[in-house]
Amino acid sequence: MTGPSARLSPAFLPLYALAYAGGVIAYTPFLMLVLPARVTELAGSDDVRWLGYIVFAGALAASLAGVASGWLSDATRRRRVWVALGLAATVLLQLAIARAATAQALLWLVVAWQMALNLMLTPLIAWAGDVVPDDRKGLLGGLLSLAPPLGALSAMLLPETMSGGLTARTATIAAMTLVLVLPLLLFVRSTPFPERVRQTSRPAATVRPASVLQRVWLARLLMQLSGAALAAYLYFWLRSLDPAMDDSAKMLLYAAGLALSVGAALLLGRWSDRHGRPFHALALTALVAAASLLAMALAGTPGTAQLAYILFATANAAFLALHASQTLRILPDPGSRGLGIGLFNLTNTAPSLIMPWIAISMVPDFGYASLFLVLALLALAAALLLISLPHDA
């Protein structure tokens, strides 16, 4: 386990939160705005098909690279070096993507970029597990919740395409990423790689570590499925509720949920640190998400449905931020922590392969209410999995 709080550098948590936000900014505006525009430039009327190919290939590359980069940082006992290499490769490949000449070249550049991005992100997450003690991991989760709103805000800071094209936009993303990640690499004192935690005997009644890992992993997958389904179909659902609702109003709902999640995650994170109940806080956010999805399914007016969605977005984003930090609590061995994080990060890409089939089988015949009921059951199952964990998990 990590050492006492006094051994944590005061500069680490704020600089780490900025670096993590830089990692999120590296991909959020790029995937939302830059990549689709570049695909349209190169593929023309065939852009939807090519974007599907590129996103699928990129998701597979991210899954494999996350596991491999975590293992590399474990095996070499160097987190900082891999974060720095991944940062450099991510920035260079993003700039190269703006110069891709064909859709095929763009696909392979995105695959390489996803590998570089995960070469940076997985060791970065493992680094926090090495130095942040358990009694500060709730605070860490609260600080990580700042990253999604900053990622969404960064998309608004990109220059207009007319003022420099995609090259200016990718350069802006690269600059923001460098500004936020480099301070952690340059100004935080290097710490020795933690020694492998000795295995101690556990009472017979204690749940086996593998069982704990499986439950926490599955709970995140279930919540990610709910979030991915809403992210993909939110536009169509809101349009069915209120055809007059414009895109700015839709984005305002999403932004409101992300903004509220920061306060929720910080409050719950500090509460879990003080009371030693990290998984109770996670279970609470999952229960709120389930109740919100149920309210969305039963909502009789657009206003009620929109308020229920804001509550879901708040609970879901807070859950993911807190889960990211508390996962480090159950991966105490630094010799395999990076690999473990890579495996946990599969829950970020797997929903893209599962979620479309859930939506296709439900929405056309039974409507969005049926989809939300299924998603509510998934969130409820996640809460039950977390509630069942032992206190000393």
Query: Is there a contact between 133 and 3 (Cβ–Cβ < 8 Å)?
Result: yes
- pLDDT for 283: 94
pLDDT of residue 4: 42
With contact defined as beta carbons under 8 Å apart, do 241 and 308 qualify? no
Q: What's the rounded mean pLDDT across residues 19-26?
A: 94
Local confidence band at 290 (pLDDT 50, 70, 90 cut-offs):
very high
- Supply the pLDDT for residue 121: 94
Residues 6+ apart with CB under 8 A from 277: 271, 391
Over range 54-60, report the average pLDDT: 85
Structural tokens at position 201:
């005997």
Check: CB of residue 284 under 8 Å from CB of residue 268.
Answer: yes
Mean pLDDT computed over every residue of the chain: 83
Question: Do 5-187 and 209-387 come out as alike in CATH topology?
Answer: yes
Contact 256, 313 (CB under 8 A): yes
Q: Of the CATH numbers 1.20.1250.20, 3.30.420.10, 3.40.50.2300, 3.30.930.10, which one belongs to the domain with range 209-387?
A: 1.20.1250.20
Decide: helix, strand or coil at residue 209: helix
Q: How far apart are CA 311 and CA 14, in angstroms?
A: 27
Residues 133/4, Cβ–Cβ less than 8 Å: yes
Mean pLDDT, residues 96-105: 90
pLDDT score, position 194: 72
Is the pLDDT assigned to residue 207 strictly greater than 60? no
Asked which of 162-166, 200-204, 230-234, 298-302 is least confident by mean pLDDT, the reply is 200-204
pLDDT band at 161 (very low <50, low <70, confident <90, very high): low
Stronger pLDDT, 248 or 103, i.e. the higher one: 103
Q: What is the pTM of this model?
A: 0.81
Structural domain boundaries in the chain: 5-187, 209-387
- Three-state secondary structure call for residue 301: coil
Residue 252 has pLDDT above 70, yes or no: yes
CA nearest 79: which of 132, 12, 117, 127? 127
CA 28 from chain center: how many Å?
Answer: 10
Cα 260 from Cα 268, distance rounded (Å): 12
Residue 205 is predicted with a pLDDT of 40
Ramachandran class of 245: left when φ > 0, alpha when ψ lies in -120 to 50, beta otherwise: beta
To the nearest whole percent, how much of the chain has pLDDT over 90?
34
Give Rg (Cα) of the chain. Answer: 21
Any idea which fold 5-187 has? Growth Hormone; Chain: A; (1.20.1250)
CB 309 within 8 A of CB 257: yes
User: pLDDT digits over 114-137, tens only?
Assistant: 999 999 999 999 998 888 887 888
The pLDDT of 177-190, averaged and rounded, is: 91
User: Which is higher by pLDDT, 300 or 326?
Assistant: 326
Q: Looking at 21-25, 222-226, 235-239, which range is the least confident one? A: 235-239
Give residue 235's pLDDT. Answer: 64
DSSP 307-368: HHHHHHHHHHHHHHHHHHHHHGGG---TTTHHHHHHHHTHHHHHHHHHHHHHHHHHHHHH-H
